[in-house]
Structure formats: C-alpha cells, structure tokens
Structure 1
Amino acid sequence: MPRRDDDWDPERLPDLGGRRYLITGSNKGLGFFAALQLATAGAHVVMTGRNPNRLAAARGALMRQLGDAGPGTVETLLLDTSNLGSVRAAAATARGRRGLDGLLLNAGIVHPPKTRELTADGHEVVLATNVLGHFALAGELLTSLAAAGGRMVWVGSMATSLWSYDPEDPELEKGYTGWRAYVQSKVMTAAVGFEAARRLAAAGVAVESVVAHPGYSTSGRTRGIQGVNEPSRGKRFTANLQAAVAQSKERGAWPLVRALVDPAAENGSFWGPGLVARGAPRTATSSKITRDPERAARLWEFCEEATRVAWPLEQAARTRRRVRG
C-alpha cells in the first residue's frame, strides 16, 4: 500500500541496516547531510568527492555527528564527476563490492564560471559535472544496483520551472552564461532521469530512477559544522532575511533521501519540499520541459555519445533474475 505523504517523518527514517548507498559530492551541503541522515538510520554510506583532504575532513565530521557507536558505517571514495576517467575508476572500485541499494547523483556546480570552460575531456564544465558524469556513473553501476534491486536519484532544481532553457546546444558553444549553464544542466538532469525510468521499465530492469529537488536550501540557514558548513556572518544575515522562503541544507536533503529510501517512491516520480522552496518532502510535478519524452530521448542519445557509455540494460535485467534465482 502506498505511503501517505503525511506519514513520513524525515527525522525518523526507517531502519536502513544492511543497506549500502553511494552519494556523489558528499563533502558538504546536501550530499553531506544526506549521508548523515542515511548513516544515522543504520546504512553503510560511500561518501565521494574529488578532493581527498576535504573528503576525509567531511567523513571525520560525519563520524563525530554519529558518535563513536554510530548505527551506520561510512567509507570514502575519490570521484570527480567532471572527469570521465575518474568516474570509470570509481565505478570499478564500487562495482567490485556487494550490490548497491541506492545511488544519489548529487554532486554539481551551483555557481558556474562567468565564462565558458572546458574539462580535460573537452566538455563544458557545468554539463560535464552535473550531467555527463552522473549519466556515466549510473550506467557503470547499473548492474550493482540491479543486483540489490536498488534505486538511483537524480537531483533536479525548481529553477527549471522558472526558466525554460531548451538544451538544443548542450555544450553551450553559443550564448553561454553561467545561469543558463546551470538551469540547462538541471533540465537535462531531470529529463534524463525520467528517460532512465522509462528505459529501465521497458527493459525489465529491477532498478528505479527517481528525480528530486531540494527547494531553496542555503548554507546560511544551515547549522555550522567545522570543515563542512562555516558560513560568514554576512551569509548568515542575508540568509535570515530570506527565512520565509529558504531552508537549511539539512532540510533540503530530506526530499533527496526520501526519494532514495521510501518504499512508496515510484519509478519515474518527482519529489521536493511541500512548499516548493521549503518544507517537508512530498511528491511534486516537474516542469513541463523536463517531461517531454522526445526531448529526453534526444538528450539520452547525446549523453551516450558524449560519454561513450551505453547502459547495459539487458545485462542488468539478467543480473536481477540470476540473484533471485
């Protein structure tokens, strides 16, 4: 029976003991608090990030929050979603262990460069970090997710309902602006996430693809944690002026975590704060531009070509049947 929205308590998650989740961009912000919430509920969490020192500091901070006898366990894995070589290496490490119950595709550039920049792979950096790296990672880890009957969650943005940038030029070779790069990457993220749901279902793969957004979550409304969240007084002041529409990163992680672990979250569903910008996690309606199947199919093909990763759908379907057998 589907769970009613008002039955879910984001501060008292179900027991996640024995489950394993990988989160990209775990050293701060939404990724850190999602990791903390999952570990507090007993899960084993793989925290990933591109900077080893920051990642180690974040793990230390998380373990201090959990306490010496914390219910969950935590490990770290170096992963830079802007670098496809790093994605492949990290996936090979994660894939070599037991099945994966959940993959939270969280890492991303929120404040893009003012001028267009390219990665070592030759892709626009916001596109590469927010979309291509996650598309490749999800494809590389698909069989691990299938082995556990797991779920992937793509992190969208309410900005896609405010600015309908159609990603006809994914690499933004013309007309680049930082804001357009960000919004366009989130349109692509959501569209590809919904397309993944359609393709997984059609291929009979026992993996769900869900999209969620954090609302308007700011560091200035978030409690201070050394090495993770240390906003200046100015940021605190500005954020407090926005209290009516803003919330903490901790609460912003609530829809992401619910989308990842709630048994009632359906393949292809969309989640966000109940009041759009803030509030308890609820099912929501994604922007129209992200729900167009034709556009999504086109973007999927672009991602396959750009990353050179074709999702192993048939293999993943066989993996789950073999595990059950």
Structure 2
Amino acid sequence: MSTRAADAWDPRDLPPQDGRSYLVTGANAGLGFFTSEKLARAGAHVIMSGRHPNRLQAAHDALEARVPGASVETLLLDVANPGSIRAAAASVRGGLFQRARLDGVVFNAGVVHTPHARETTRDGRELVFATNALGHFVLGAELLTQLAKAATPRHRPRMVWLGSVSTLLGRYAPEDPQLESGYGGWKAYVQSKVAVQALGFEADARLRDAGVPVDSVVAHPGYSIGGRSPRVTGVNEPGLLKRLRDGLQAPIAQGKDTGADPIVRALLDPSIEGGEYWGPRLLTRGEPARQRPSATSSDPEVRARLWEACEHLAGLTWPFEKAARAAR
C-alpha cells in the first residue's frame, strides 16, 4: 500500500492540465468516459476514442454538456483491428487534431462481458486477448514516438494500462495467450488482464533501458459497476432493476466515476514513477493507493514471454531507438 498521505491527492481538485493532451481508448462509456470527463475538468484536451461512431458522438456531446468549455475531440478506433489502430495513430501523428502534442494515453478499451465460446477477430486473433491486450500493445508502439516528443526536463509523458483486481483471484499464467485450447469466458478475461499488467510493467523496464523519457504505469478500478455510477444520457443509463441489484453490492462496490480515480492519478500524479501499480485503497473500492500486483503479472519471465508473443502476433517491435532520438 502507498505510504503517501491519504490527503496528498484530491480527485476533486486535480492539478491543472491546461496545454496538455491525452488520448483515452473506449471513451464512449464507463471508465473511459469518466476518465475523459475528469481530464477535461482539469483543463486537458481530450481525444475520446471508440469504435462506434454514434455512441462516440453521444459521449462527446454528454461530456461537453457536463463540462462547459471542455476541449474534446473524437477518434474512431477499434483496438481489435490492427488496420484501425494504425489509421487512428497516423491521424494523431499527422497533427489532424487541435493539438499536435500527446502527453499521455489511457489503454482503457476492453471486453468485460466475454463470449461463452471462443471468437476471433478478422485477422484470426482470439477476441478478448486481442481487444484487451494485443491491440493496446500495437497502439503503444504506434504512439511511442509521439509521446516521447512531448517530454521535457520537467515532464514525462505516460501510458496507463488498465489492469484488474481479478488478476489476484487465480494463477492464469498465459502459456496459451490466445486460448487455442481450453477456452473459458472467465479465464479469457483474467488471462488477458494478467497480460495487460505484464505488458505494462515490461514496457516500463524496456523504456528505461532504452532511455526513452516515457513512463508506463498500471492501474485498476477495483469493483466499479454501472448501477452505482451517475446517470449520463447516452453513456450510462441503468434501469431500476440494475440500480437495485448493484445497490446491494455497496459494501464492496463503487461507481465507475470513482473507479476512474486510480486511472487518472496514475496518469497525472507527478510523484508516481513508471512501473508502479495503482488501485482503490480497499482493493475493490476507495481512494487511489499504490498496491502490489499479482505475482504472475510481475514475474520477469512471464513479462518477457508475453512481450515476445505480442511482437510475433502483431508483426512489429516498439521503436525505442527512434523514440529516444525524438525526445532529444
């Protein structure tokens, strides 16, 4: 747990982010929307990305209504589709947005309600792993140089990988990342989140070794559910039954607006260092605190093996040397 004072960080009073720009994947709902809203309230320019145009526009309009004067744009991005990832990243690199710089990215998009039977993407990758882990691995590679360009002696851009408390509930060492045998919905979810966390920790180690001034941090939202989240038209509209059902879980659950706090702190708090792991203080709920990740996701051998597997599946390597040069 963190040794920092509990009152050292106030989620309701974030450090000003004027002049900075952040990309959030899966921003049209849930944690992604509330993360975007908090960043916009702090004065940041936010690029909200998602794969459904209508839902993304609804989220954009809702955020502008809730945060008058917000600086926000949208970007179509399907993290399960490598072509979509590369096109979206090219748009960011090409300066097609209001601000050319990129100070951070939140790898939030993901499959939570996993299919009962194994499904694959257009390029033959297992859907849950491709969406939660592999797609963000590709996006990180595509945006790394752009992030490095925003580094200054007093500012290190960040990438935040979205982990899960579920990684503490079982030892799912990803020997078979795509679950080509023995698929199960729960196993697919947990194993993909083990992979996300392992990639986040490995990314930070490799960034440091390469001298790239970009930090990689992992954060999880605890047990954050829609029925305990604020109602936002077009974004979060749980019915009465869901409100009642989720309300019964109040002792262990929180709203997704609160679940976004560890993510935002991992992105913005200048006292946090790369390679750290953040989540709710009470594990499933509470204010952000530094925590200890699962032994599997922090295992150096697991991390290296997953990184190499993702390089093979994605057919790319991260441009560490190019990013290091871009930051000079």
TM over 0.5: yes
Give distance in 2, aligned partners of 1:113 and 1:16: 39
Structure-to-structure mapping, 1:26-45, within 5 angstroms: 26-45=27-46
**Which residue of the partner structure matches residue 83 of structure 2?**
85
How many Å separate the matches in 2 of 1:3 and 1:181? Answer: 35
Do 2:35 and 2:260's aligned partners in 1 also have CA atoms closer than 8 Å? yes
Q: Distance in 2 between matches of 1:93 and 1:308?
A: 21
TM-score (norm 2): 0.95
Give the Cα separation in 1 of the matches to 2:309 and 2:19: 37
Deviation string 1:71-116 (CA, Å, 9 cap, x unpaired) is x400000000010110000000011122210000000000100000
1:190 aligns with 2:197: yes
Task: State how far apart, in whole Å, the 2-side matches of 1:232 and 1:163 are.
Answer: 32
Question: How far apart in 2 are the matches of 1:245 and 1:320?
Answer: 43
Post-superposition offset of 1:4: 4.1
Aligned to 1:10: 11
Identify the residue that residue 239 of structure 1 maps to in structure 2.
Answer: 246
Structure 1 unaligned blocks of 5 or more? none
Residue aligned with 1:22, SS: strand
Distance 2:239 2:170 in 1: 30
Contact 1:3–1:264 under 8 Å retained in 2 = no
Residue deviations 1:159-211 (CA, integer Å, cap 9, x gap):
00011111100110111011000000000000010000000000000000000
User: What is the correspondence of 1:129-168 to structure 2 with a 5 Å cutoff?
Assistant: 129-149=131-151, 150-168=157-175
Correspondence list, 1:1-325, <5 A: 4-67=5-68, 70=69, 72-97=70-95, 98-149=100-151, 150-321=157-328
Helix, strand or coil for the counterpart of 2:7? helix
Alpha-carbon distance in structure 1 between the residues aligned to 2:316 and 2:147? 16
For residues 53 and 75 of structure 2, what CA distance do their matches in structure 1 show?
A: 9
Deviation string, structure 1 residues 286-311 (Cα, Å, up to 9, x no partner): 11111101110010000011111210
The residue type paired with residue 49 of structure 2 is T
Give the residue type in structure 2 aligned to 1:130: N
Deviation at 1:3, TM superposition (A): 6.3
What residue ranges of structure 2 are gaps of 5+ in the alignment? 152-156
Give the deviation of 1:232 after TM superposition.
1.4
Give the SS at the match of 1:121: coil
The answer to which of 30-39 and 143-152 deviates more is 143-152
User: Counterparts of 1:190 and 1:87 in 2: how far apart (Å)?
Assistant: 20
Equivalent AA in structure 1 for residue 10 of structure 2: D
Please tell me the residue identity of whatever aligns with 1:244: P
SS of the residue corresponding to residue 49 of structure 2 reads strand
SS at structure 2 position matched to 1:6: coil
TM-score, length-scaled by structure 1:
0.96
What residue is the counterpart of 2:154 in the other structure? Answer: none
AA at the equivalent of 2:181 = K
Paired with 2:177 and 2:38, the residues of 1 have a C-alpha distance of 34
CA distance in 2, matches of 1:164, 1:4: 32
**Shift of residue 156 of structure 1?**
0.2
Cα shift readout 1:1-41 (whole Å, capped 9, x = no counterpart): x9645310011101000000000000000000000000000
Cα deviation 1:204-224 (Å, max 9, x = unaligned) = 000000000000000000111
Secondary structure, aligned partner of 1:45: strand
Tell me the secondary structure at the aligned position of residue 327 of structure 2.
helix
Q: For the residues of structure 2 that align with 1:95 and 1:292, how far apart are their CA atoms?
A: 33
Q: Is the 8 A contact 2:20 2:101 kept in 1?
A: no
The total of aligned residue pairs comes to: 317
**Shift >6 Å, 4+ stretches:** none
